[in-house]
């Protein structure tokens, strides 16, 4: 069981997938802080991404998950914040590489572009694959 808490947020398009992934996080033993939205009524993704990314940037949580229709808007919004490395992924391999090579700390997925079972596989990879460091560390430093 992990003592880590994962922050999660979604816009209206990602709401249902967020609910599913929250259950997965709990089953895996993670704490969950849900930063919204709470239904499928339209909301602005930059607001939700900003709340989560600011919390990661401030060190309140080490990792987070963002969901919107395509994942693109959330990625753009989150990566505007210092120390945030948000990776938009569509499959488990991309999630694994985002952790291994890029030390991604925010997983982003497009709820309209990914099946729930694949999203769970991506989440598990994101949570369990360590950053390799080494030659990749130099590159991650350059992102700062």
Catalytic sites, residue numbers: 101
Task: Render the burial of 62-96: b for 16+ CB within 10 Å, e for the rest.
Answer: ebbbbbbbbbebbbebbbebeebbbbbbeebebbb
Residue (of 98, 121, 120, 108) closest to 45 by Cα position: 108
Q: ∠ at Cα 45 (80, 68), nearest 5°?
A: 105
**Residue 83 corresponds to which tokens in the numbers above?**
């120390």
């Amino acid at each position: 069981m992990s003592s880590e808490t994962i922050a999660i947020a979604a816009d209206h398009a990602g709401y249902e997938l967020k609910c599913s992934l929250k259950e997965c996080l709990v089953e895996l033993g993670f704490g969950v802080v849900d930063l919204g939205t709470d239904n499928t009524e339209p909301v602005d993704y930059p607001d939700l991404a900003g709340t989560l990314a600011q919390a990661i940037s401030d060190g309140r949580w080490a990792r987070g998950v963002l969901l919107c229709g395509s994942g693109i808007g959330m990625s753009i919004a989150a990566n505007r914040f210092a120390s945030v490395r948000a990776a938009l992924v569509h499959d488990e391999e991309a999630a694994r590489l985002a952790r291994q090579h890029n030390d991604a700390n925010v997983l982003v997925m497009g709820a309209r572009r990914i099946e729930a079972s694949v999203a769970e596989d991506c989440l598990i990879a994101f949570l369990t694959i360590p950053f390799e460091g080494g030659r990749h560390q130099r590159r991650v430093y350059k992102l700062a």
